[in-house]
Amino acid sequence: MHIGLIGLGKMGFNMRERLRGKGIEVTGFDRNPDRTDVANIEELVSALPAPRIIWVMVPAGQITDAVVKDLSEALSEGDLVIDGGNSKFTDDQIHATLLAQKGIRFLDCGVSGGVWGLENGYGLMAGGLQDDVERAMPIFDALRPDGDRAESFVHVGDVGAGHYAKMVHNGIEYGLMQSYAEGYELLEAKDIVKDVHGTFAAWQKGTVVRSWLLDLLVKAVQEDPGLSKIAGYVEDSGEGRWTVEEAIANSVPAPAITAALFARFASRQEDSPSMKMVAALRNQFGGHAVKPAEPKPE
């Protein structure tokens, strides 16, 4: 099998290497001349045997929109586009409709595994028609970990379902990370606890909170005790917000995921206006002491 791959960043580059290692020929395109195999999308399309399969691995939103539009003009009837980025599920339906006007097939695929996917394989969640999923199965099997397919791949449902599942996956991830982080801070704050790193390490086997995220936490603390090299500023890439929006739209209570998302927002405030108001109100109604503001450097 010979496929095209657009986007050779942290994820796409490793995916190309894993696919090649599993016997799938890959021609990649990226704007970075040090990583790309071809000069442009037209050259990529020309290099692939028809009917073509092209996997798109670029940032969600306008960049994915532009790539799908370019492919709709460059590909032919019967070709297949797979969006493996973190697109919003509603965008998948727009992209599928655009490509269908030219007879081009479309799948969305949520991908989990991060920078470790090259070595460990990726968890995959596909959305689209069964025939298209079967056609792309050699690719999915090459990307996922060895072993039972059902433990690392699922055909979730129709177009958009794969990215919807990945969105919920990432929302759960927000909550898990926040829980580990709060436990870490509590252990660090208690004077009787002398070995925080060892405590987390001792949870890695046999306990109900063991997980790959816990393993990564232990690794992070081992490499940087006290996390002195890292600022307490946390971005969000969109999926957590979309998960909360969907929870509201479907009247599903999701307090842990929502709180984890808001905690990320709080991490970006040097001096939270809302917390300043809470302190002011406590002072007003109860005479509670307030901490004077730090003078700003000139």
> Starting from the edge strand earliest in sequence, which strands make up the sheet with 123-127, in order?
25-29, 2-6, 53-56, 80-83, 105-112, 123-127, 153-157
3-state secondary structure of 200: helix
Specify whether 173 is catalytic. Answer: yes
Catalytic one of 22, 43, 102, 173: 173
Q: Which two tokens stand for residue 13?
A: 């580059």
Strand partners, 53: 80
| φ and ψ at residue 235, rounded to 5 degrees | -80, 170
93 contacts 158 by C-beta, under 8 angstroms: no
Residue with tokens 């509670």: 288
Measured distance CA(113)–CA(133) in Å, rounded: 20
Listed in sequence order, the residues at least 6 apart from 151 whose beta carbon sits closer than 8 Å to its beta carbon are: 145
Residue with tokens 């177009």: 159
CB atoms within 10 A of CB 274: 9
Catalytic one of 166, 182, 294, 298: 166
Q: Which two tokens stand for residue 21?
A: 């290692």
Specify whether 166 is catalytic. Answer: yes
Q: Which two tokens stand for residue 2?
A: 């010979």
| φ and ψ at residue 231, rounded to 5 degrees | -80, 150
The residues annotated as belonging to the active site are 166, 173
